[in-house]
Amino acid sequence: MRVFGGLEAEIMRVVWRSAEPVAVQAIVDALGERRRLAYTTVMTVTERLREKGWLTRVRHGRAYRYSAARTADDYTAELMGQALQASSDRPGALMRFAGQLNDDEAAALRAVLNQPPAGPGPAGGN
């Protein structure tokens, strides 16, 4: 997986924030608050995100509405996993990462680490 490009990330943020499937025009409108984008540009990038497995779509009249196929947390976890894989000193990288956490984040991490393993997940463990 690669990091989202700027427009991909903006589109995903709009979709992740929406409680319901969102039309391309609604994405254009939400993004238009910050910058002017052509409908066709947003439609093309949205469709590419669907092809990559990040979005799903359902027909609604003559248009499609898009929903996230995976969560923002999934995306972040994959990026963190990739960064860890790139490290030549995984324990050292983990220790430096843990040192950047605030007290609440550290407590949440401790709680997760104290749970029994749930089995292999998408990031591996196979």
Q: Could you tell me if residue 123 is inside a domain?
A: no
In contact, 39 and 24? CB cutoff 8 Å: yes
In contact, 68 and 37? CB cutoff 8 Å: no
Looking at the fold, whether 38 and 84 belong to one and the same domain comes out as no
Looking at the fold, whether 64 and 86 belong to one and the same domain comes out as no
Mean pLDDT of 2-8: 91
Q: Could you tell me if residue 38 is inside a domain?
A: yes
Q: Could you tell me if residue 118 is inside a domain?
A: no
Q: Could you tell me if residue 122 is inside a domain?
A: no
The per-residue pLDDT for range 37-79, each reduced to its tens digit, is 999 999 999 999 999 999 999 999 999 999 999 999 999 999 9
Count Cα atoms within 13 angstroms, Cβ side, for 106. Answer: 9
| Cα dihedral 81, 85, 88, 90 sign | positive
Nearest to 78 by CA among 30, 44, 121, 35: 121
Any residues with CB less than 8 A from the CB of 25 and at least 6 apart, and which?
39, 63
Nearest to 50 by CA among 63, 68, 75: 68
Looking at the fold, whether 59 and 83 belong to one and the same domain comes out as no
Looking at the fold, whether 107 and 90 belong to one and the same domain comes out as yes
| Residue 46, helix vs strand vs coil | helix
Nearest to 15 by CA among 31, 1, 39: 31
**Confidence class of residue 120 from pLDDT cuts 50, 70 and 90?**
low
Looking at the fold, whether 16 and 64 belong to one and the same domain comes out as yes
Q: Which region among 55-69, 77-91, 106-120 has the lowest average model confidence (pLDDT)?
A: 106-120
Mean pLDDT, the chain, rounded, equals 90
pLDDT at residue 35, as a whole number: 81
Residue 40 belongs to domain spanning: 6-68
What DSSP state is assigned to residue 126?
-
CATH number of the domain that residue 36 is part of: 1.10.10.10
Total domains in the fold of the chain: 2
Token reading at 15: 């979709």
